[in-house]
Structure 1
Amino acid sequence: MEWRGFAYIGLWYLSIASGFLVLCCPMTPLMFACPQVFRYAIGVVHSAWEMYPTILMRLLFKTRFVVTGDLINPLDGALLIMNHRNRLDWNFLWAGMYYGTEPKAHKLKMVLKSAIRHVPFAGWVMQMSGFLYIRRRWDHDQSSMADQLEYFKNVNDTNQILLFPEGTDLSRGNVERSDKYAEQNGFPKYAHVLHPKTTGFVFLTDIMKKNKQIDAVYDLTIGYPDSIPQNELDALCGVFPRNVHFHIKRYGVSELPKSAEGLKIWLMDVWRQKETRLADFAATSSFVRDPTSVNDNNTPTHNALYLAFLFWTLIEFIAVYGLVTSTLFRFWCLFCCVVFVGLSFVDDGFQMLEVKLYNYTRNPKKKPA
């Protein structure tokens, strides 16, 4: 174990737990009184937190983030699709979104496996942030995602929703399964990506079009020219990349095919291009040949990142001090944890409770039978 890896994971997790207890849970009454304000406030907290792991990586590991291609417009309602090289891609994504968005503000939510919502604090915060959890039971998943997207529309919450079409990371076993699938269907074998699953992408694109929630699809490609941490244990041991590259391509909604079959073929073609792009990247350690097109303005580190570091360090101090000195705060922490353990296992999670509450109180047509 390396001290920088231990410090990063420890501070990262402490910031999540502290933000959950000190900031997010006290905002819960807003969900009953004014869901629009609640959704906005939680979005602000989450966006502010995303800068914290970015500054930690900059300070502890001097990690450099290189962004090429298009910049993300934070005012776009958008679907983001990205390759899934390792289990920590989403962690580096926060920095990619920070440096790849102009102006530097966004409301990113992810489509994740349902089991992740049970992770103490991290899974609970993502529930409160409105992440879309799926159980891999399609009837259930499409219903819950449709309900959440309709809720976001009703409360005027514009989002960028990230989907990993591959569904899992590029481990050896997953590559073998992808190759077997390619053989059975007459597809080429890939070395740098897995064959994408198209059902979720087609569904999300279609429902977001119907709801007028999508202005663009952003294709993100992540590449690591040096060290690649495959899992959380690698990160704990201090295996961090010195450089992380993102290439972003924006497709306006008018450029997308109209039919479901057309969207399926379109996604598969994007992944073929991604395989080629990553093969070139493996040979050159760059997504572009023209160095002037590289957005490498993250040195020196922006003042906003230092402010985020100070803010979240203060929140961590408040939480730890409260746990040590205040019985009332300890009871508050216990109460919040018990409630979210119950919500995680008894129901579909806080994010669906929020949707059901809104439908029951403000949308009579959606009241449960």
Structure 2
Amino acid sequence: MTIDISGLPQERIVFEISPLAELGLALHALSEPGHHPGLHGWATATAASLKPDLADRLHEADFLWRTTHSDVLAPFAGLTTCTGTVGKPGRTLKEDLDLLDRLDDERFVTAALDFTCSVTYSEMDLLGSASMRDRTLALAATRGPHVMDVATRLLDDPGPVRVWLRRLFEDCDEAFFADAWRRVAPQLAADARHKTELLRHKGLAEALHAVSPALSVDPDLTRVTVDKLTTGRTSAVDPDVGTGLTLVPSSFGWPHLLVLHAPGWRPAIWYPVGAPSPTDPASVELLQRRMEALAHPMRMRLCRNLARSPHTTSELADAYGITAPEVSRHVAVLKKAGLISTRRRGRYVLHQLDITAVARLGSDFLETVLR
């Protein structure tokens, strides 16, 4: 994944903390504790303390953070700025939510439904195109009735859903996040200051390497490359949306290294601060069987999608431009190795990666798949 930074002044590359982004990653850890071995205790205690009404509402909205980090959690990057400025997150959750309120309905709905209910982020006409609406609802149906319900409400009338979502985030803040943020914010702010000093005194290459070995910049300082099992490109020098690149440290985010690369949004990178110890090793026989199943590059790519949410065979075929029979053959190999599970939801057959089984292969593979 590449970010064009040609001619970008160094002062427009900034390290900032974001309460809303960290709340989104904390909610992801609650939804997918298998992704975050070091947070099992926190996730268990927090989930047990949630009031039933709040837990139900979180389940209703979890498509915004369960599969990946929805761009609605980074509203600062979706608001156009005057040329020469860098949009920054709010200093408090309220300020971040105020920025979220400023996104227009089309941008908000497209960002909210992108990862779960659409194939591409290249078109922004969900509210005006009947064909795109039908496609979005068909994809939402594969995610279950609660996603279908929220998608329908968003497409019919975004306003009430936006009010409902802001109230949900505010209730999370009152229930558990305010305490969590007070605990992690000083560490994140210190890391942001440290990386800023590295950038100022050692240069971009040194600062990016300190963020993650998966980040690099070319010798001419024209392109940042993020080593991920996905492809994409964006620009930090588009004057129409405001120039700049924002890097956001996260305490709840390990092992995810996330890149916002949506058209019309300024790029941003979320990176983890700290990492837990590796998981227990697998047996030799099981390791050999599973590594042989993962030797094929396409199966590794399929694992990336299947790690984030259940997918149907046709969805995987569409995402990677291969035929459904080819996907079925790869899925059969992974299933035989005990790496994926399959379940039926109505007329849909959904496949999902077994994170616990993958974790037994070692933290390097898990980090690469979830990065």
TM-score by length of 1: 0.28
* RCO higher in structure (CA 8 A, sep ≥6): 1
TM-score (norm 2): 0.28
